[in-house]
Amino acid sequence: MAAKVVYYGTDAVDIGYPVANETPVAGITKDFWEKITIDFSKKHLVADDWADFYEIPERMFIYEMFAVVKEHDGQDNELAIADVDSDDNVEWIDNIDDSAIDNYTITNHNNTNGAVGGKFYPAGGNLYISAVAATEVDATILDVYIHAIMLD
């Protein structure tokens, strides 16, 4: 049976900032990029499950996001990222091919949030990743980059 699995707050998820000229400072209202690394070798994701990997803070506006495969498990698991708490949703990114290192997938502008240029989360929310076409994701390491701004 399909089930939600919590990933944030475990050693399978690391949240930080990509290397840039400056690191965003809390309280300064400017857009920034945040980098979330999901390591499925530390916490496996079985088919039809979805992982709650990021808590969206209140009043965050997400412009876009993209995913880059750092390590792969040799199979195309067709991972998907959404803000909906269920399996196989693609509101942000669909068809993430984790069959090779450096494969990348950007926000699909035909999907719900990409089509309107982003989404505002006044009460916060969560991001989920699901294994759409996989038996188990057990070796992939994925970097997810989020372009966002905090609104006051």
Q: Are 146 and 82 a contacting pair, CB within 8 Å?
A: no
pLDDT, tens digit (0-9, with 9 covering 90-100), for 13-47: 887 765 544 555 555 557 888 999 999 999 988 87
- Output the average pLDDT for the chain: 81
Amino acid at 130: S
pLDDT, tens digit (0-9, with 9 covering 90-100), for 82-113: 888 776 666 788 878 888 888 877 776 555 66
How, if at all, do strands 50-56 and 4-6 pair?
parallel
Q: Are 102 and 68 a contacting pair, CB within 8 Å?
A: yes
- What is the pTM assigned to this prediction? 0.79
pLDDT, tens digit (0-9, with 9 covering 90-100), for 45-60: 887 788 999 999 998 9
Work out the angle at residue 108's Cα, subtended by the Cα atoms of residues 136 and 80, and round it to the nearest 5 degrees.
15
Q: Are 108 and 18 a contacting pair, CB within 8 Å?
A: no
Q: Which residue has the higher pLDDT, 59 or 8?
A: 59
Burial class from Cβ neighbours inside 10 Å (0-12, 13-18, 19+) for residue 22 reads exposed
